Amino acid sequence: MSRDRLRVFIVEDEVLLQMQLEMYLEEAGHGVAGVAVSSREALRTAMGSEADIALVDIHLADGPTGVRVGRELADQGLPVVFLTANAARLPEDFSGAIGVIGKPFTQAAIAETLDFLVAAVLNPPPAKPVPDALTLAPSVSAKWRLA
């Protein structure tokens, strides 16, 4: 794997959004490490996916379980970025996630965020500015001195 290419695990229950994300990732030169639509499926398959990062929706097929999924994946060492139209539902500590991308998002927003996350995940701290589409968790901003 090229070190400027991320393997992304997608946790999104809306199939059209999932397919759109897959297309955006591939067009930006990244790979899809796996997909899941529910918390159970995500927790069962994410760690075996060899992903570099997970994009996790907050509301999944089994309810508003994405925050728990994000916490568990982050606790297991998989960096997480949430996807949601309602960032207010995230706890103050972002459940251990790097940050959140608001919905709806554009292809350009995903591409810019992934470019930033290459450095953030593979070689922290990132040298690039935080893209507008990504809101970093306060603890991550402080750790990377980006606040």
Q: pTM of the full predicted structure?
A: 0.93
**Residuewise pLDDT in 10s, the chain (147 residues):** 346 789 999 999 999 999 999 999 999 999 999 999 999 999 999 878 899 999 999 999 999 999 999 999 999 999 999 999 888 888 889 999 999 999 999 999 999 999 999 888 777 888 889 999 999 999 898 888 764
Note whether 58 and 34 are within 8 A (CB): no
> What is the CATH architecture assignment of 7-143?
3-Layer(aba) Sandwich (3.40)
Which residues are within 8 A (CB) of 21 and not within 5 positions of it... i.e. 6 or more apart? 10, 12, 55, 110
